[in-house]
Structure 1
């Protein structure tokens, strides 16, 4: 379903805020590759740069230096209009807060990105995405009539309806209880394993990170190692080491 060029590459990515003596370096020359069809978790102590990395990779923030390539497109030279179009068509983003419009049904919330693009949503396609996420019988429900886990699945369906090359997720289980969070992560892993979706997720929870194929660690805006197919215990041990040395 997804092209093998639909990965993400970060080349010498830097991001600073402020000027002069107040300058803060959030990212310091990070080079990373996320292959298509893989699930990667980004972890690090508070202030390590993980959310900045996610926002720069998704085109929500512009780096100070370096390059971001998404599905073969270099984001660096794009003007705001081109960047907006790329985000709309090739990038999905899921936040910790569900960001659903309360007056709209699940079906209408999912179809919203297509309407904002000036097109009429294909109802069959919208309903299929909802069904794929276990929400076939919730299409006509408004957010207030859905559980937290169902609302987050609607948010994921909304992010997936445009068939993005990459799905970015910022603490997607942060507002959910443990069981609902586990169910959501199993769903994300299924999207990767069965449909070839590329997912890049920021989390602070080792149990959440252990659902990914790979966990990349940041510290002080720089890469601080990675683990492949780790257990939650291995992730927690690495995080403890980073926090102690930091």
Structure 2
């Protein structure tokens, strides 16, 4: 594979917590490459470092050593401000607990990352991602007025609104029933197949992992 095909490159990544006799090594010298347009599932037992890996690879946490290159940019060398700006515009996030703001409507939640980055979201862009996840008719509702599965689809639309280089999903179906979870996985698979959206998903569920490449 040529370097141009690799959207995400993790090199000798290590993350430790604590000191001396209390030190915990969450990651030790982890290296891998992810090509553009891939759907990757990261699996492992509880405490194996899955979420730590995702947080370091996405720039939410800084590794103890090693490097993370996103489209050639080394996240580990960026300042906090540069890293924040990069995350807002080039990385999408989905979490198990949705992380939606209850006071905002569906539409406002989807547009929030772009507004925080100083951009005025275009209405057509928000409508497009809401139509992708089947929620355009619910754009004026608040999170408390929709189901858990619908909230996760709002989170997916929010993650996609800025057309990120990579979408990171941490247990995106963990809080959902089987039907809602299947719908979210089908949407993730569709985004990869139809729009080439590179996706890295942490999961403990082999059914969820089976949807990935």
For the aligned pair, the TM-score class normalised by the smaller chain equals over 0.9
Q: Which residue of structure 1 aligns with residue 75 of structure 2?
A: 75
Q: Deviations over 1:217-240 (max 9, x none)?
A: xxxxxxxxxxxxxxxxxxxxxxxx
* Mapping of residues 151-190 of structure 1, within 5 Å: 151-190=151-190
Question: 1:5 Cα shift?
Answer: 5.2
Which segment is superposed worse, 118-127 or 34-43? 118-127
8 Å CA contact 1:10–1:33 kept in 2: the answer is yes
Partners in 1 of 2:51 and 2:133 — Cα distance?
26
Q: 1:119 maps to what in 2?
A: 119
Cα distance per residue 1:70-90 (max 9 Å; x no partner): 122111111111111111111
State TM-score, norm by structure 2. Answer: 0.96
CA distance in 2, matches of 1:22, 1:123: 51
Q: Which residue of 1 aligns with 2:29?
A: 29
Residues 33-44 of structure 1 mapped to structure 2, 5 A cutoff: 33-44=33-44
Distance 2:74 2:46 in 1: 29
Gaps of 5+ in 2: none
What corresponds to 2:106 in structure 1? 106
Aligned length: 210
CA–CA distance in structure 1, aligned partners of residues 130 and 10 of structure 2: 32
Secondary structure at 1:140 match in 2? coil
The Cα shift of 1:61 comes to: 0.5
Retained in 2: the 8 A contact 1:5–1:72?
Answer: no
Tell me how far apart the structure 1 counterparts of residues 107 and 34 of structure 2 sit (CA, whole Å).
Answer: 31
State the SS of the aligned residue for 1:76: helix
2:184 alignment partner, SS class: helix
Q: Counterpart of 1:228?
A: none
Q: Distance in 1 between matches of 2:68 and 2:138?
A: 37
Aligned position for 1:14: 14
Number of the residue aligned with 1:50: 50
List, as ranges, runs of 4+ consecutive aligned residues in structure 1 with deviation greater than 3 Å.
none
Q: Which residue of 2 aligns with 1:88?
A: 88
Larger Rg: 1
Which 5+ residue runs of structure 1 have no aligned equivalent?
214-246
Aligned Cα root-mean-square deviation (Å):
1.1
How far 1:138 sits from its partner (Å)?
1.0
User: Shift of residue 119 of structure 1?
Assistant: 2.1
SS across alignment from 1:7: strand
Q: Distance in 2 between matches of 1:120 and 1:179?
A: 35
2:29 and 2:191 map into 1 onto residues whose CA distance is 31
- Cα distance in 1 for partners of 2:92, 2:6 equals 13
1:85 match: secondary structure: helix
Which residue number corresponds to residue 208 of structure 1?
208
